[in-house]
Amino acid sequence: MTLPTPGLPTTGLPTLGLVGLGKIARDQHIPAIAATGLFELAAVVSPDGDSAGTGGVPCFRSQAEMLAALPGLDAMAICTPPAVRHGLTVEALRAGKHVLIEKPPAATLSEMQDIAAQAQAARRTLLTAWHSRFNPAVEEARQRLADATVRSVAITWKEDVRRWHPGQDWIFAAGGFGVFDPGINALSILTAVLPAPVFVRSAELHVPANRDTPIRAMLEMRAAPGAPVGVVTADFDFLQQGEQTWSIAIETADGSRLDLTHGGTRLIVDGVPAMAEPDSEYQRIYRHFHRLMLDGASDIDARPLHLVADACLVGRWRTTDAFHW
Amino acid sequence: MTLPTPGLPTTGLPTLGLVGLGKIARDQHIPAIAATGLFELAAVVSPDGDSAGTGGVPCFRSQAEMLAALPGLDAMAICTPPAVRHGLTVEALRAGKHVLIEKPPAATLSEMQDIAAQAQAARRTLLTAWHSRFNPAVEEARQRLADATVRSVAITWKEDVRRWHPGQDWIFAAGGFGVFDPGINALSILTAVLPAPVFVRSAELHVPANRDTPIRAMLEMRAAPGAPVGVVTADFDFLQQGEQTWSIAIETADGSRLDLTHGGTRLIVDGVPAMAEPDSEYQRIYRHFHRLMLDGASDIDARPLHLVADACLVGRWRTTDAFHW
């Protein structure tokens, strides 16, 4: 999508408001904004008023307050929990702001479709920031597979929820995505690197008896007949003890094998490390966002969310042991 | 979407191939094709070879055979079960055919997105035929609500699955939609008549212990803040004894009430019958398909499927009593 109006201010850096000051904002967004030097972090929104670590920029209790106080802001980065992203994104777009949204960009597909329509109507840049895609190893894998025939893909995404989301009950509440919260990162890589789309054929979803979202999910996906992609399996597990695994193993028809490991940050080709870069995905996100604003364009992709919803739609839901922290 | 190439033959009626010769094809499509007189039913596909009731037109075992034998066909009507619609639709589009698809147009959202992309690439007409929308009472309701503020909507869609789908185990198998098979008709009406989009906020899904899809589903939907639509509830029940109900009750802020009853075929305004037409929805579908081909346009809508997938994504899944026919 090309926008008719230029997206950058004529003088100075574009100013950015950061909405939602949780772990991902502090660990990733603020350092990446500082490191890239392409945006001026002009304000933050923190509902509890705690703005420690933001360098003393103005802090507001809501985005609406921030927009009213600082009408000249150029862009927003929405880092809140998923449930409120749709409303905040629409509010920001209608106020004429460019918007970067953390993954997943919305809680539902209906919201996702509305966000895309609103961005088009507002003629503003929208970036659905599927962060795992921004690792250089992912782009390298995409290029290597662009003309390949993929025989099989096996996604193994196994982590210990007690270690990575300790006490975060929202992840197991209805709409909290459960094990799809990390799993959607794998699907965002999958849809970025494969040379053809794949479709969920079956899924098995295990929900703890005392929770509402899956703690384990196993998916089988296939491409259309004749497409250069074979079977794709995914095993998402939130109860992994010991070694944690975030890997995608890809076998091609010519007998070679690509392994994207460590969440997509490393690429191994036929057993030989081909790329291992430090984790710079958020810097790449902000460079991409800046470039999109410069070009008057958007990057809106619902495919990872489609695959999760499809798994929920066609999957077999099974009740498993109750989960306690 | 406007297509650059004209969609109708220069002489004679456009020829149509009917793919899938089940109950809906025999009860609705074939009579509607005959009654409207806008298409020549030129061939049918029936995997079991039974083409009784089609007036002796050529019958093939697969769409591929039909396309090979009759390459000049103009259009296809896909009336198979949902699981194979995506593959058949893509095959027909790539063969240069215009395509009408029964509801739901695909088994998953990923397939739905691919179908829309393929129709655009093939530059052919695609109609996702949400048949319940084609009742005149639905269009009348849409017009009455276009400038209204809708205070509330209550959808009640309660039928006896033993009466309407006797022995059809596929409907309770994974991917079979369960009570969403009829319920999606209500959602196709809802999305057609409301003046603003709504989003699933919560859902409760009851799955029999020996089945995989919901036998009952209760949804709560809401529009965006500030939109002219209040709360929307839906109660889909497959175990309704006695009177069968397919109704949508709509209250507006000015105190009036619209009732769409009998699956959207009748409209009652403030208690007074305003419209009750014989069931002509399939004739309207074929007129619309013909018009789209004439205009070189498509009518592709995924919103009802989005709402079903959203309910599965954010819903609470509960196991209920086993279901036996």
Residues of chain B with pLDDT under 50: 1-6
Q: Over range A99-124, report the average pLDDT.
A: 95
Listed residues B129, B155, B182: the one ending a domain = B129
**B325 part of a folded domain:** no
- Domain identity same for B167 and B80: no
At residue A215 the predicted structure's pLDDT band, cuts being 50, 70 and 90, is very high
What pLDDT does A132 receive? 94
Nearest to B306 among A113, A202, A319 (CB): A113
Domain membership of residue A141 (yes or no) is yes
The closest CB to that of A309, out of B107, B199, B313, belongs to B313
Mean pLDDT of A49-55: 84
Are B151 and B252 in contact by the 8 Å Cβ rule? The answer is yes
Note whether B212 and B152 are same-domain residues.
Answer: yes
- Is residue A23 situated within a structural domain? yes
- Lowest average pLDDT, out of A126-135, A269-278, B94-103, goes to A269-278
Which one, of A80, A29, A79, lies nearest residue A54 by Cα?
A29
Given A79, A105, A129, the domain boundary residue is: A129
pLDDT band at residue A49 using 50, 70 and 90 as cut-offs: confident
- The CATH number linked to B258 is 3.30.360.10
User: Is A174 an 8 Å CB contact of chain B?
Assistant: yes
Mean pLDDT of A171-195: 96
* Nearest-angstrom CA–CA distance, B76 and B72: 12
Query: What are the angstrom distances between the C-alpha of A230 and each of A118, A188, A195?
Result: 36, 18, 11
My answer on whether A86 and A234 are in the same domain is: no
At residue A48 the predicted structure's pLDDT band, cuts being 50, 70 and 90, is confident
**Residue A207 parent element (H or E):** strand A198-208
A148 in reach of chain B (CB within 8 A): no
Q: State residue B1's pLDDT score.
A: 45
A195 plus A224 within the same structural domain = yes
pLDDT (tens digit per residue) in B28-38: 999 999 999 99
Q: Which of A68, A101, A129 is the last residue of a domain?
A: A129
pLDDT, position A2? 45
| Confidence bin at A9 (pLDDT 50/70/90) | confident
* b/e sequence A219-252, b meaning 16+ C-beta within 10 Å: bebebbeebbbbebebbbbbbbeeeebbbbbbbb
* B208 in a structural domain: yes
pLDDT at site A88: 97
3-state secondary structure of B87: helix
In a domain, A3, yes or no: no
A204 DSSP β-pair partners? A218, A316
Q: Is A120 exposed, middle or buried (0-12, 13-18, 19+ CB in 10 A)?
A: middle
Q: What is the pLDDT of residue B106?
A: 94
Number of other residues whose CB lies within 10 A of the CB of residue B260: 28
Amino acid at A274: A
Q: Say whether residue A312 is in contact with chain B using an 8 A CB cutoff.
A: yes
pLDDT of residue B11: 74
**In a shared domain, residues A253 and A178:** yes
Residue A219, chain B, CB below 8 Å: the answer is no
Pick from B237, B306, B283: nearest CA to B131? B283
Say whether both B60 and B188 belong to one domain.
no
Which letter does DSSP use for residue B27 in this model?
A: I
User: Are A117 and A29 members of one domain?
Assistant: yes
pLDDT of res. A189: 98
On whether residue A284 sits in a domain, the answer given is no
Q: How many domains does chain B fold into?
A: 2
Contact residues, chain A, for B301 at CB < 8 Å: none
Kindly report the nearest CA distance between residue B260 and chain A, in angstroms.
24
Would you state the pLDDT for residue B279?
A: 72
**CATH code: domain of residue A85:** 3.40.50.720
Average pLDDT, chain A: 94
Residues B139 and B99 grouped into a single domain: no
Residue at B142 is within a domain: yes
* Pair type for strands A150-158 and A245-252: antiparallel
Chain B closest CA to A237's CA: distance in Å?
A: 18
Q: Which of B89, B93, B109 to mutate to test the interface with A (most CBs of A within 10 A)?
A: B109
The C-alpha of A114 sits at a distance from chain B's nearest C-alpha, in angstroms, of 8
Q: Is A83 on the interface with B (CB under 8 A)?
A: no
Q: Which residues of B147-175 are buried (b: 16+ CB within 10 A; e: fewer)?
A: ebebbebebbbbbebeeebeeeebbbbbb
Q: Which residue type sits at B193?
A: V
Q: Examine residue B58 and state whether it is found in any structural domain, yes or no.
A: yes
Same domain? B76 vs B165 = no
Q: Which residues lie across from B166 on neighbouring strands? A: none
Give the residue with greater pLDDT, A290 vs A7: A290
pLDDT at A7: 60
Among A237, A160, A244, which residue's Cα sits nearest to residue A204? A237
Task: Domain of residue A58: give its range.
Answer: 15-129
Here the ipTM equals: 0.91
Q: Are residues B234 and B170 in the same domain?
A: yes
pLDDT (average), residues A290-294: 97
Span A286-301, average pLDDT: 97
Residue B58 and residue B197 in one domain: no
Residue numbers of B between 89 and 128 with CB closer than 8 Å to A: 90, 107-111, 113-114
Percent of residues, chain A, with pLDDT higher than 70: 97
Residues B113 and B156 in one domain: no
**CA dist B317 to A147, A213, A269, B77, B81, Å?**
42, 9, 42, 35, 25
pLDDT higher than 60, residue A264: yes
